[in-house]
Structure 1
Amino acid sequence: MGRETRLPHLRTDDGCEADLPLSDRDAQKLHHRARARPVSRHRRHQRFLATPRFASEMNPKLRRILFSLAVLVWSGALLYFHATGRINKYLAPDFRPIAFVGGLGLAVLGFFNLLTAGQDAACGHDHRGDDGHDHETSDVHPLAALLLMVLPVVLSVAWTKDEYSAAALARKGLYDSPADMNTSFLASAMPPLTREMIEQSHRKTADDYYEFNLMELFFATGDREMQAAIDGLKVETEGRWIEEKTRNPQGTRKRLYRLFMTCCAADSRAIPIVLEFGKTPPELPENGWVKVAGTMRFPLEEGVLQPLLVADRALAAEPPFEESFLRK
Structure 2
Amino acid sequence: MSKTTSPKIKIAGVLLVVFALGLPMIWPWLKTPMVVATSFGIAALGVSILIRSGQLSFGHAMFSCAAGYAVAFTARAMPELDSAVLILLGTVFGAVMGMVIGLFVVRYRAIFFGMLNLALSMVLFSILGKFYSLTGGTDGIRLARPTFFGVRMERDGFETTLLVVAVVLAVALAWGVQRYMMSIAGQALTAVKTNETRLEYVGLSANRALWIGYVISAALCGLSGAMFALMQGLVTPEMGYWVRSGEIVFISILGGVGHPVGAFLGAVVFEFVKLYSAALFTGAWQMVLGFVLIGLVFFVPTGLSGLLFRKEPK
Give TM-score, length-normalised by structure 2.
0.21
Larger radius of gyration between Structure 1 and Structure 2: 1
TM-score, normalised by the number of residues in structure 1: 0.20
Q: State the structure with bigger RCO (CA 8 A, min sep 6), 1 or 2.
A: 2
